[in-house]
C-alpha cells in the first residue's frame, strides 16, 4: 500500500519546509524508497533549490543526515554527551549550507577528532565544530 508522509525537518529556518513523500508499506524498511511528491512550504534557506520535490527532498535529507551523524559521532567520542541537547544550527542558503555544532564538554583533542571526521565524511567546510561547556 502506498502511503504519503508529510515531513517537516528540524534543519530548516522557521517557518520550516514542509514536504510530502510517498512510500510502499509492503516493502521492508531497509529496501524502501521514499518518493518526494509535493512541496507544501519552503523556508527562506531553501527557496533557491526548491525547483522540484525531488531536488528539495535530496537537500533536506542530506542536511538532516549530516546533523544526525555528527551528533552520533559526538556521543561515540564522548559518551556523556546527550544527543538531544547538542547545540547546532545551519548557516547559509541553498544546497551548500554549513552545519555549525558545539561539542559540549569536549577537549581540544575531541574537537579536532570530530572536525577530522566531519571533513573526511562530508567534505571540508560543510561542518564547523567548536568546543562548548558541558551541559549538566
pLDDT, tens digit, for every residue of 78-121?
Answer: 998 999 999 999 999 999 999 999 999 999 999 999 999 999 99
Instruction: Give the mean model confidence (pLDDT) for residues 65-78.
Output: 95
pLDDT, tens digit, for every residue of 28-40?
Answer: 999 999 999 999 9
- Could you give the percent of the chain with pLDDT greater than 70? 98
In the chain, at which residue ranges do the beta strands (DSSP E only) sit? 2-7, 18-24, 35-41, 88-91, 98-104, 127-132
Instruction: Give this prediction's pTM.
Output: 0.93
CA distance 96 to 22: 26
Q: What is the pLDDT of residue 44?
A: 97
Structural domain that includes position 123: 2-132
Is the pLDDT at 136 greater than 90, yes or no?
Answer: no
Q: What is the pLDDT of residue 133?
A: 80
Is the pLDDT at 135 greater than 70, yes or no?
Answer: no
Number of domains, the chain: 1
Amino acid at each position: 500500500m502506498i502511503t504519503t508522509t508529510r515531513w517537516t525537518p528540524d534543519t530548516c529556518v522557521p517557518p520550516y519546509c514542509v514536504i510530502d513523500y510517498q512510500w510502499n508499506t509492503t516493502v521492508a524498511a531497509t529496501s524502501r524508497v521514499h518518493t518526494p511528491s509535493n512541496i507544501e512550504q519552503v523556508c527562506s534557506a531553501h527557496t533557491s533549490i526548491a525547483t522540484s520535490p525531488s531536488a528539495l527532498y535530496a537537500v533536506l535529507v542530506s542536511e538532516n543526515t549530516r546533523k544526525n551523524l555528527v551528533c552520533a559521532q559526538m556521543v561515540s567520542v564522548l559518551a556523556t554527551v546527550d544527543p538531544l541537547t547538542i547545540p547546532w544550527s545551519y548557516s547559509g542558503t541553498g544546497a551548500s549550507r554549513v552545519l555549525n555544532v558545539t561539542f559540549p564538554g569536549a577537549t581540544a583533542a575531541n574537537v579536532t577528532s570530530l572536525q577530522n571526521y566531519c571533513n573526511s565524511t562530508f567534505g571540508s567546510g560543510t561542518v564547523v565544530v567548536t568546543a562548548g561547556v558541558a551541559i549538566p
